[in-house]
Amino acid sequence: MHDLIIIGGGIHGAAVAQAAVQQGLQVRVLEQFPQPGMATSSKSSKLIHGGLRYLETGQFKLVRECLDERRYLLKAYPDLVRLVPFQIPVYTSTSRRPWKIRLGLALYSLFSRKSFHSVARKQWPQLDGLKTENLQAVFQYADAQTDDKKLTRRIMQEAIQLGAELHTDAQFISAHCGDNGCDVQYRHQGENKHTKCKLLINCAGPWVNSVLDGVHPCPTKRDMELVLGTHIVVPGKLEHGIYYLEAPQDRRAVFVMPWQDNMLIGTTETPVTEPHNPTPPDTDIDYLLAVHNHYFSHKLSRSQVLEAFAGLRVLPRSEHDASRSAFSRPRETIIHFDDIPRPKVFSLYGGKLTAHRATARQLMQVIAPYL
């Protein structure tokens, strides 16, 4: 009998396992892939950040929480998380005026305890080939970058060292839950196995509702939207950090950043209907190339794309979201469970790489009364 069975070995599954074993709980993680962090948690934009754009939609609590977590991660994992300068160029065609961006950065700097400044006009020609025609201002501030896959595996390894069990190549089949806990069946390395737990923690990301389909009696589900985010890796060197750009096509944020001696450009937000292991659509690749070519004098073509990858993000959906784009939707994580005297199944919807530790702490507080 385990205290917790955690479905999913991504960043949130790893963080929950770590938080749980630190409290002395017996934990087993079931991960469907050969290694932790092979799905969404290795296909992010590689950023540890507060989310500057979330200030515009009033998500102040989320920004403050993420910046607190950024401060912790910079100290705890200096080999994996490091501060990088971010440049925000503002052109005559940019939808947000310099005063608005300056105001947002001033508030962001209060939360982050890191200053920002305007880049002098005489320095603009040095900004990695950034076009200067109709350029009105360039702002620079600091945020952090990481290797998401390595960070996920580091946290999982720390959990294992504290006593957590990890079963990879483990496909969840079903769980039968009653007053005494859940009997969990799964397929591990070609064999059907079962184990028991007091509580089942569903950190399956895009597969969160698919897991709930296998639970008996079936818990309620949250309505959600799956959004595919594509990134491309292209040749090139960036000497001045990361560029935070407004896509001319739809005014979304796109980052162009240094990555493993090349450049990483992302991300897109394309709605999909079913969880799967996605491949980057050609339209997404063309979209990202067009954003780069709009802002930089050095043009890129499809033949120069070294790598393209895509991951699925979960956006919880409410009745107020019907008319809102994925880009403008709230990014808070939802811990969902049935409102019954003794719930056994707890599911995470959404989540941010930066806030994984805070989410795990919150989950542990929620489940404490039921252990």
Model confidence band, residue 278 (pLDDT cutoffs 50, 70, 90): confident
- Give residue 288's Cα distance to chain centre: 19
Query: Is the link from the previous residue into 217 a cis peptide, with omega within 30 of 0?
Result: yes
Which is higher by pLDDT, 332 or 295?
295
Residue 121 confidence (pLDDT) above 70: yes
Residue 196 confidence (pLDDT) above 70: yes
Element (H, E) at 308: strand 307-316
Q: Mean pLDDT lowest for which of 112-126, 162-176, 311-325?
A: 311-325
Question: Mind listing the pLDDT tens digit for each residue in 292-315?
Answer: 999 999 999 999 999 999 999 999
pLDDT at 327: 52
pLDDT at 329: 59
Model confidence band, residue 326 (pLDDT cutoffs 50, 70, 90): low
Backbone dihedral region for residue 84 (phi beyond 0: left; psi -120 to 50: alpha; all else: beta): beta
d(CA 39, CA 261): 23
Residue 230, SS3 per DSSP = strand
Please compute the mean of the pLDDT values over residues 332-357 and round it to a whole number. 95
d(CA 250, CA 270): 13
Please compute the mean of the pLDDT values over residues 201-226 and round it to a whole number. 95
The values of phi and psi at residue 277, to 5°, are -95, 95
Model's pTM, two decimal places?
0.94
Residue 357 confidence (pLDDT) above 80: yes
CB 300 within 8 A of CB 292: yes
Tokens standing for residue 350: 């959404």
Residue 352 confidence (pLDDT) above 90: yes
CB 300 within 8 A of CB 264: no
pLDDT at 317: 76
Residue 316 confidence (pLDDT) above 70: yes
Average pLDDT over the chain, rounded to whole? 94
Residue from 271, 248, 247, 266 nearest 256 by CA = 266
Are β-strands 2-7 and 191-202 bridged in parallel, bridged antiparallel, or unpaired?
Answer: parallel
Domains, the chain: 2-41+150-223+331-370 (3.50.50.60), 83-146+225-328 (3.30.9.10)
Residue from 336, 330, 349, 312 nearest 203 by CA = 349
Residue 338 confidence (pLDDT) above 90: yes
pLDDT at 325: 56
The values of phi and psi at residue 37, to 5°, are 70, 35
Element (H, E) at 1: none
pLDDT at 332: 80
